[in-house]
Structure 1
């Protein structure tokens, strides 16, 4: 009897591999990001094993949970979810619109919106401003750079923004400004500090998420209508 490889004895194993390969290579960057993530996690595991640093790796995945105060960080978690919404839908809308015309005004607007909001999200989530301030860079200088970025964004896309219900967007940036100024001012009351810094940020993110949800929905709807027109005629 001829010897058969182990994998050949498993029914439909080759078919499963072909299906797996097809799905992974169909989605752009899926293989790259999975490979990169595996290399990083593998490198961390190897480092922890060789240097007996398992507790350090565990801290990277630990949840900030307080049994006695389960509501601790509730609004912070909600803010992080709200941060992700406009970044994700702007990136998705840009990816959809660029298939028809990569240089269209709408596609460019959503690209830079995702880029700007993504930078703000990374700064807020990973405390980049705080880290840079500890390295000796003034917070006022950092906020000036962010304010300049918002100003240039507004100048560049004001004509497009005027065609949308833009009041929530303006309100969001004003609330962000109040939140950042409160971070500079030393407030004695912890409750007042939390409301002026984190409360205003939560309201800003709510308005930001609702604005881009509506604007992206309208842009995708127009894109689908224009795509269907040749088939209707």
Structure 2
């Protein structure tokens, strides 16, 4: 296959989907750097490199983001595959699961409920948590016929671990004087929750690929 024939095999729509978001991101970063008078390197370089600290800076947090991302990727991939097979209800389930996972991933990645919303929008954390809980409850209610039709233990464990992580976060001020390194519990519960979340959607995806009515 020559270069030109290979080039014709590449969809221009695919290239647009791949490179347009990347270009928009770089342009946004450039504009933010100029407008906020922040060095461009602060947006693009690795935090450990910028702060000249250990390369293991935030390693557990970074792994958590990877688990969020992997879960979202599984959900969106399953959505496209199941939509092609005509399993619409299953496809919609994975679409909204992917959107929910992406929302939580962005919150975790950019510290939305911890820094951005409270400091820049002046939203109280209790209301942010309440909003997220409401969204999760609506999601569980809307797709209960799919979620509870077969094994949902991993999802229940994931939600339980997330609840414990949030509980530790809410009691952080008190726990700091009672428990040394309480972050181990807060972030540890989140890590176990994400492992369960990824396991649930990975298993659910495999199950519904072969039994889209399940």
Q: If the TM-score is normalised by the length of the shorter chain, which range does it land in? A: 0.7 to 0.9
TM-score for both structures, normalised by structure 1: 0.76
**Which of 74, 84, 89 is matched with 1:89 structurally?**
74
Q: Which residue of 1 aligns with 2:109?
A: 125
1:58-137 equivalent positions in 2, closer than 5 A:
58-65=41-48, 69-101=54-86, 104-129=88-113, 130-134=115-119, 135-137=121-123
Match of 1:140 among 120, 126, 134: 126
Give the aligned partner of residue 188 of structure 1. Answer: 176
Query: Quick one: which of 51, 54, 57 aligns to 2:40?
Result: 57
Q: Would the alpha carbon gap of residues 214 and 72 (structure 1) be closer, same or farther in structure 2, given more than 3 Å must change?
A: same
- Matched ranges for 1:140-219 at <5 A: 140-185=126-171, 186=173, 187-189=175-177, 191-219=180-208
Q: CA deviation at 1:155?
A: 1.1
Q: Is there any run of 5+ residues in structure 2 with no aligned partner, and where?
A: none
TM-score by length of 2: 0.82
SS at match of 1:98: helix
Aligned length: 204
CA distances 1:3-62 after superposition (whole Å, capped 9, x unpaired): xxxxxxxxx9xx63453243133xx543144134235536766997x99x7x72111121
Cα pair distance change 1:105/1:75, threshold 3 Å: same
- Runs (5+) with no aligned partner, structure 1: 1-11, 224-233
Q: Whose radius of gyration is greater, 1 or 2? A: 1
